[in-house]
Structure 1
Amino acid sequence: MRPKAVVCLSGGMDSTVCAALAARDFDAYALHFSYGQRTEARELESARAVADALGFRQFLPLRVDLFRIIGGSALTDATIAVPEAPAEVSSIGAEVPVTYVPFRNAHFLSAAVSWAEVLGARTILIGAVEQDSSGYPDCRPAYYDAFNALVRQGTKEGDIRIETPLIRMRKAEIVRLGVELNAPLHVSWSCYSGDRVACGVCESCVLRLCAFREAGRADPIPYVAGVEG
């Protein structure tokens, strides 16, 4: 019998590749969060499709409403516009952008640890990436080191570990790994604002498009007219 793992599955490109790694090595259980984000329905649809394509044992969708209530992020607050990516892609991540959802991953990981304890899973996987990303503070290796120390102290057996297999990889490397693993990237969704066709101009879209181009692959998801995947 293979070991169990809980995967924080947003439905984005990175989490889809992380999910493919989990499906290869574990009996995988997907945990997805709807938290009032602009593309909430599309992300749920994508995450479910990824879990189905990879044969996950269970898909558990949870609703976390506090981020919508407190606001403060362009992803959850309709009064804050989602900005276009800067013209110089290399400058993305120099500052924490308004799309940062305050301390979001801590809430997600806490729920994942709780479910892992119930399932008897000792591994939690999340597709956090530090390189080629928007500079979110909860995607840094030190953050996960600290969280793992908390998990060791705050769980019954202290043997659950959060793994971040992509965190030091470049986005193009993640695309190549996804292709190698036959990850269902065609059903993934990364756009911060569009829910039927990707906008192609937000930071998430731009980073994704650059990654596919650098990897020599066509991005399989639909973009607005004039944007080539």
Structure 2
Amino acid sequence: MLLENKKVAVIGGGPVGLTFARLLQQVNVNVKVYEWDKDEFARIKGGTLDIHNDYGQIALDKAGLLAEYHKRSRPTGERSANINAEILMDEFPDKEHLYDRPEIDRNDLRKMLLENLQPDTVIWNSKLVSLEQQDEKFVLHFENGKTEIADLVVGANGGMSNVRKLITDTIPQYTGTTIIQGEVLNPNETCPNFKKLCGEGNFAVIGEQKFFFSQNKAKGALNYYVSF
């Protein structure tokens, strides 16, 4: 096997990095995930993810986690309105398509993935600041002063990743769009009319080069995005 007796370093403990680590561990590859969060409880906010059956669910199936994902996720309806709050579409997946792309809270997905990794796979409080190639290995330098060596480095920490510099000199460009994210913890009490408009699933409004999108989380909170 190509990675036999090799060490793999995954930079970023998000859904992709953790899923990739799980896949490698299933074939006994030595892998560590380096995540800059202090611990698994550092970020408790965020919206929901819909993982599609013809894309992300394929990876979860190979990782032996598809049944667990279906257990923790939920089929979700889609609603849209115009800028006058008039409902244009309100649909819920039929019985045959309930789990084509169910939603799961980001924290629930991370918890599921962490529970199915070997102990101490994720090295927390490890923000990568630079890396360099020495012979056939890579030396990774972290903000906490630690240094690690790996045979293969996988960047799974977003478009601004420091790993990116070794692959391309193309710099991410600002597109001119700004997104503001927020969360209402008790929408039924604090904004019942707004919650009624958003419904129990996903809700979207597009108009005048602006975009509003909301998601209902597992415990009733309302996550929203405003883009302009």
Which structure has more helix as a fraction of its residues?
A: 1
Q: Which has the larger radius of gyration?
A: 2
Establish whether TM, by shorter chain, passes 0.5.
no
TM-score by length of 1: 0.31
